[in-house]
Amino acid sequence: MELSSSLEDYLEAIYNVIKVKTAARATDIAKKLDVANSSVTNALQILVNRGLVNHAPYDIITLTPEGSKIAKQIAWKHEVFRDFFTTVLAIDSDTANKCACSIEHVIPDEVIERFVQYLDFERQCKYGGKRWVEGFGFMRKAGTNENDPCEVCAEKKEQDARSEK
Amino acid sequence: MELSSSLEDYLEAIYNVIKVKTAARATDIAKKLDVANSSVTNALQILVNRGLVNHAPYDIITLTPEGSKIAKQIAWKHEVFRDFFTTVLAIDSDTANKCACSIEHVIPDEVIERFVQYLDFERQCKYGGKRWVEGFGFMRKAGTNENDPCEVCAEKKEQDARSEK
DNA sequence: GCAGTAAATTAGACTTGGCTAAAGATATTA
DNA sequence: TAATATCTTTAGCCAAGTCTAATTTACTGC
């Protein structure tokens, strides 16, 4: 019961529209994905057949519990990568979104879960995490190299010096 | 002059075979990508037309300079992600490879370059990087939480205590 | 309650990328 | 060198996913 990238995109788009509007119309989805209305109709038929979407011809579009669950998972993957790209890598928001929108379809649950653990570790550990990421931002902007330590390194160096005394 | 994921896969497969054998045959590529021989023939015609591959019917397959350049870039993206997944996230090698093989086609140069900078920062900075990643490995295995600090945290805590005196 | 407009669907075509089966080319080996 | 085995290509098919154009349905204002 694998979904193609394309069908996942439709599901996610429906999910995102519903978050704002309680129910989606085909045109909303078409605009969001920049495809023809007829392509949406096509996709809807498949998604209804698979039990992921509720939709009678000419009627509004909602998600079944199963469809909602899958859509939520896809949207979550999107967010994780978008945030990593913009916050940590300082990629512009448009590129970050597009890239997240591709990766979300190909990253297995197992891998993104581990990735999130990794990011959490970096962010939560108050003895380095957040400052570590900030240190990267510093290095990136300043174009520093090993001989020109970032804030985190500099601080650590100082401490080392102090404790040697 | 965009290449589809599929064509990129063929290019990369040719590149990888050539690295070992100096020239590739259609069957090598078919086996590597697990497709029918005729699919390889098909793809080769397109790649020859695009000036990325040298190939006359029934003859061996090589890459043009342009094809080689592109293939190398794709293979590099593959490596970066495979290594990150196996080394940092401790994903099993098979999953890591498959996942890298999907992402390599959708990650823009701009994004992976920044990602590599980030990884280099983490690894090179002798005041934290390598141990930081090790710290994550520790946490992952031990299933520790915030109250149960990793090696890096523990060490830093000690230093803080010392310098408070 | 009806006419006009906007939205949704259907029909039919096209592209990409895969397949199988058969035919043609090349290599091997007796 | 002739027979056989192995590649490679060709031909024709299929499925997914898109499009445009034409048709059908639903809504809205008078």
Domain ranges of chain A: 5-71, 125-165
Task: Compute CA A112 distance to the chain's CA centroid, rounded to the nearest angstrom.
Answer: 10
pLDDT in tens, A7-30: 999 999 999 999 999 889 999 999
Q: From chain A, pick out residues whose CB is under 8 angstroms from the CB of B160.
A: 127
Q: Which two tokens stand for residue B156?
A: 């830093």
- CA A150 to CA A36: how far, in whole Å? 50
pLDDT for res B135: 55
- Read off the pLDDT of residues B115-147 as tens digits, 9 standing for 90 and up: 998 887 777 654 555 555 555 555 555 554 444
d(CA B126, CA B134): 13
Q: Which residue is nearest to nucleotide D19 (CA to C1')?
A: A36
Residues with CB under 7 A from strand C: A 25-27, 30, 37-38, 40-42, 44-45, 55, 57-59; B 4-7, 9, 34-36, 38-39, 42-43, 46, 58
Instruction: Tell me how close the Cα of B9 comes to any Cα of chain A, in angstroms.
Output: 15
Separation in Å: D18 C1' and B89 CA: 38
Give the class (CATH, top level) of A5-71: mainly alpha
CATH architecture entry for B5-70: Orthogonal Bundle (1.10)
Tell if B57 CB is < 7 Å from nucleic strand D.
yes
- Count of Cβ atoms closer than 10 Å to residue B120 Cβ: 13
